[in-house]
Structure 1
Amino acid sequence: MGEMVNITVNGAKMEAEKGSLLIDKLLDENIHIPHFCYHQVLGKDGNCRMCMVAIEGQKRPQIACDTPIKEGMEVRTQGENIEKVRRDILELQLINHPIDCPTCDQAGECKLQDYYMESGFYESRVNVEEKTNHAKRIDLGSNVMLDRERCVLCTRCTRFCSDITKTHELGVISRSNHSYIGTFPGRPLDNPYAMNVVDLCPVGALTSKDFRFKQRVWFMETFDAICGGCAKGCNISVDHRKEKYKNDEIFRFRPRANKAVNGWFMCDEGRLSYHNENENRFEIPRLENEISDFKNVMTHIFKYISTVKEIFFVLSPSLSTEEMKNLQNLASKLNANISGYSPDTIDENFEDDYLRENDKSANRKTFKELGIAEDETTFKSNLEKAKLVVVVDNSYFEKNLELLNDKKVISLFSHLNQTIEKSNVAMPIASFYEKSGTYTNVDGIKQKVVSKMKKDDQAETITSIIEHLKDMIAKGTL
């Protein structure tokens, strides 16, 4: 932190770091300041001119994104003069803009739409014989569609590709009114973080092919979560909706800003992983590979853990901390061994030097905190002795089913896989985003997720299943 100085904004006195950008202070204080081109990661560009403010002693309005803070600075973000300047700039932006808000995917979360409604002018004073038309529905690659007519040339997308991914696929082509965003010849938008340009776009110029025309944003609900795709634990917003006569369904993940974890972005694979929540779900309990019901399956789980002495729990590294603790306590009560062995979640080809980790699990760090072994030697030793194996969302046996031969198997999974077919008893459980819990990322940062999904016939969580077992144990002879 540098030297702190005193400034005044709209009559309110506050402290700010000397030399820092005025717009950052305004945004940090939640003071409304219209802007298109500025972004806290991409920095200043100064091309949209929307962030004009009045500064005492200056003859004309200044752009907040390129104004360093000084001692005694007096700033006004409101007032007739400054608002007129912004309206004039906005009016020029709208000259060639198509009037297609009702069909635009960005409607409801579009900054141009918001600023237009704030401005209060609903009749155009500028009449042109013919608008400058640009191409529409351009597939840039990597699930990104471009509508050039909607673009305000903020250049956030081009700066993301040049400054963040350093892949340089996008650029501004031509000049003046005929300028547009495009890819370079033979260079489609193709990098692991490409879909972040959709979030960066303040208008409806860049849209996601995956989400395009799926939902209106005002119909959806949102809750904060983390991406379970790798050990980084990128912060995300989960957009979901429970339509009438339908089940609650996730429609998209969006990156949520957290400077300590993922900044403002996330990888495309993590973004699209919400599809896994809706596909290939394990929903009906099974007993000896035949359809059963919850009560009957719980009775048989109790029977097995009550009568078999050599029990081995194998846990997924993506379980929450609370689930791991509860399972560890249960294993201790049963004098059972426990392991987090899961080499199948390590993918060296996935890792990069930005946000993606080679460990494609959400909470492996907690194994070390709880003292749960995950080495191969201990795993093999305990598996060899075990008569009953309890597999909790661990996918290792999927390609090693022969290791379960001649053993009784209880499995708890949220998604279908071959381990279920090998199990004597199989119970469906809540998926990653249907439950609440705490997760520790690769850097040791603990993050809490509180799910707000409202599924019909919601699968039981691991914790609730353990509570059922505790009640049965209390009433039984174990």
Structure 2
Amino acid sequence: MSEMVELTVNGAQMKASKGSLLIDKLLDENIHIPHFCYHQALGKDGNCRMCMVEIEGQKRPQIACDTPIKDGMIVRTKGENIEKVRRDILELELINHPIDCPTCDQAGECKLQDYYMESGFYESRINTDTKVHARKRVDLGSNVMLDQERCVLCTRCVRFCSQITKTNELGVINRADHSVIGTFPGQKLDNPYAMNVIDICPVGALTNKDFRFKQRVWFLETFDAICNGCSKGCNIYVDHRKEKYKDDQIFRFRPRVNKNINGFFMCDEGRLSYKNEAINRFTIGLLDNAETNISNTITNMFKELTTQKNILFVLSPNLSLEEMQNVNNLANKLNASVSGYSPNTFDENFKDDYLKTNDRSANRAAFKELEINEEETYFTKKLSDSTLVIIIDNNYFDDNLELLKNKKVISLFSHHCLTIGNSNIAIPISSFYEKSGTYINNAGIKQKVISKINKNEPMESITTVIEHLKSMIEKGTL
């Protein structure tokens, strides 16, 4: 374990590991320190010089990103002298920067904009006619658009492709004030994590082609969630907006820092999976393929549950822990069987040695915790014996519809699939990001998600359906 030493920052005493970087301590303590080139996942680079601080005993200001912590160190991040130094450095950054904040898609999330407003450069000393110009709207590939004029040359994107993905597509081209970021000749930005360069870019140089000019960020609301693309359970932000007279809509996913799971990043496929929420939604209940209301489908489901003897519930590994527990409780009341058989969620081609796993479900580990059997032999036997099959968000049968012949089928899904068309009763339910619940990732880490999606016509949650059925069974009446 590292030796702990004491230091003073802006008059406040604190402890830190000896030799650790000063900027890390400042960021961990939420002490404001302007910076462009430093990123905790990429380490120090020292090229922007914005993180200057005063250290007692030093003749001149030091950059916090390359200053190791020593015992007794006295640091000041505020004060007239150090703030003037940072203002001068910021003014150099702004010399060739375009004056296009109102039309920049990064407005509201731009560190250069934030630092500029803090510094108060309301009168420019630069002649705009002499600014160095560069290429704009450069399509790098992988949904990433580059505006070379807006770049502050922090090289975060270059280091990401060098250190994290090790694909080395990006580099710094030319010299002096003509230096720009670009891809090497004949190359495109092309790796499964490429869109992370958008998040780590501190300005509007790298933007998301998929999100560009769709929404202003100050109109968006955000809640914490996890990606349901695989069993890694990457932490994400869900950015959404409910416009007047419209349903709440998700506009993007962004990685959320969790050093125990996904660190600072997420894969591009998971990032773009937000589109699946709005596509092909199942919203109206079906009774023998005829449209009906939710209450009618639940009433008919109750009739089937109380008249059929051999019942099998087939669950999706994307259900929350609470949903699985509720189904288990209902099955116990009915003396029914529960299976989690879902081999179709495994994909060896998706797996890599970084964040992506071969299990493309969010909560398979909950099967083990609740002792829900997911073996093929158990599933095959129980399915053969059953007269009523209740399928909850498990699309295994889409490729195996013949297994449902001569059986009563009740399905609960959030999105349309072939199984719905082969069901006697089909009930629309909330989608993954419209419901709250607990999920266990492949490392056994439990994560709680609280959804803040607000639909005009919300679908029934599985928990609501199950609780309603349990109440009806206990009363023994409709």
Q: TM-score range by the shorter chain?
A: over 0.9
Task: State the partner residue of 2:423.
Answer: 423
Deviations 1:185-222 (A, max 9, x none): 12100000000000000000000000010000000000
Offset of residue 127 of structure 1: 2.8
Distance 1:209 1:477 in 2: 55
Computed over aligned residues only, the root mean square deviation of the Cα atoms, in angstroms, reads 0.9
Task: State the partner residue of 1:212.
Answer: 212
Q: Aligned pair 1:188/2:193, yes or no? A: no
TM-score where L is the length of structure 1: 0.99
Task: State the partner residue of 2:139.
Answer: 139
Distance 1:297 1:321 in 2: 24
Q: Which residues of 2 match residues 296-311 of structure 1 at below 5 A?
A: 296-311=296-311
Distance 1:196 1:400 in 2: 38
Distance 1:87 1:407 in 2: 74
Distance 1:402 1:213 in 2: 47
Residue identity matched to 1:22: L
Deviations 1:410-444 (A, max 9, x none): 00000000100000000000000000000000000
Offset of residue 474 of structure 1: 2.1
Task: State the partner residue of 1:172.
Answer: 172
Distance 2:282 2:366 in 1: 26
**Secondary structure at 1:463 match in 2:** helix
**Secondary structure at 1:273 match in 2:** helix
Deviations 1:2-50 (A, max 9, x none): 0000100001111111000000000000000000000001000000000
Distance 2:470 2:128 in 1: 75
Offset of residue 161 of structure 1: 0.1
Residue identity matched to 2:6: N
Task: State the partner residue of 2:360.
Answer: 360
Deviations 1:168-189 (A, max 9, x none): 0000011100000000112100
Structure 1 alignment gaps of length 5 or more: none
**Secondary structure at 1:323 match in 2:** helix
Go from structure 1 to structure 2 and tell me whether the alpha carbon gap of 1:64 and 1:306 turns closer, same or farther (over 3 Å shift).
Answer: same
Task: State the partner residue of 1:250.
Answer: 250
Distance 1:370 1:29 in 2: 39
Residue identity matched to 1:193: Y
**Secondary structure at 2:98 match in 1:** coil
Task: State the partner residue of 1:265.
Answer: 265
Task: State the partner residue of 1:389.
Answer: 389
Residue identity matched to 1:315: L
Structure 2 alignment gaps of length 5 or more: none
**Secondary structure at 1:271 match in 2:** helix
Q: Which residues of 2 match residues 40-55 of structure 1 at below 5 A?
A: 40-55=40-55
Distance 1:140 1:40 in 2: 25
Deviates more, 1:347-356 or 1:183-192: 183-192
Q: Which residues of 2 match residues 25-64 of structure 1 at below 5 A?
A: 25-64=25-64
Distance 2:128 2:468 in 1: 72
Deviations 1:46-103 (A, max 9, x none): 0000000000010100000000000110000000010000000000100110011111
TM-score where L is the length of structure 2: 0.99
Offset of residue 126 of structure 1: 3.0
Which stretches of structure 1, 4 residues or longer, exceed 3 Å deviation after superposition?
none
Q: Which residues of 2 match residues 399-414 of structure 1 at below 5 A?
A: 399-414=399-414
Task: State the partner residue of 2:110.
Answer: 110
**Secondary structure at 1:465 match in 2:** helix
Task: State the partner residue of 2:241.
Answer: 241
Distance 1:73 1:3 in 2: 15
Residue identity matched to 1:458: P
Offset of residue 124 of structure 1: 1.1
Q: Aligned pair 1:315/2:323, yes or no? A: no
Residue identity matched to 1:138: V
Identity %: 74
Residue identity matched to 1:261: I
Residue identity matched to 2:74: E
Task: State the partner residue of 1:228.
Answer: 228
Distance 2:328 2:79 in 1: 62
Task: State the partner residue of 1:68.
Answer: 68
Task: State the partner residue of 2:149.
Answer: 149
Deviations 1:107-153 (A, max 9, x none): 00100000000001211123364210000000000000000000000
Task: State the partner residue of 1:463.
Answer: 463
Offset of residue 264 of structure 1: 0.3
The number of residues matched between the two structures is 478
Residue identity matched to 2:68: P
Deviates more, 1:375-384 or 1:124-133: 124-133
Offset of residue 403 of structure 1: 0.4
Residue identity matched to 2:164: I
Offset of residue 296 of structure 1: 1.1
**Secondary structure at 2:358 match in 1:** coil
Residue identity matched to 1:347: D
Distance 2:345 2:21 in 1: 43
Distance 2:135 2:129 in 1: 19
**Secondary structure at 2:412 match in 1:** strand
**Secondary structure at 1:452 match in 2:** coil
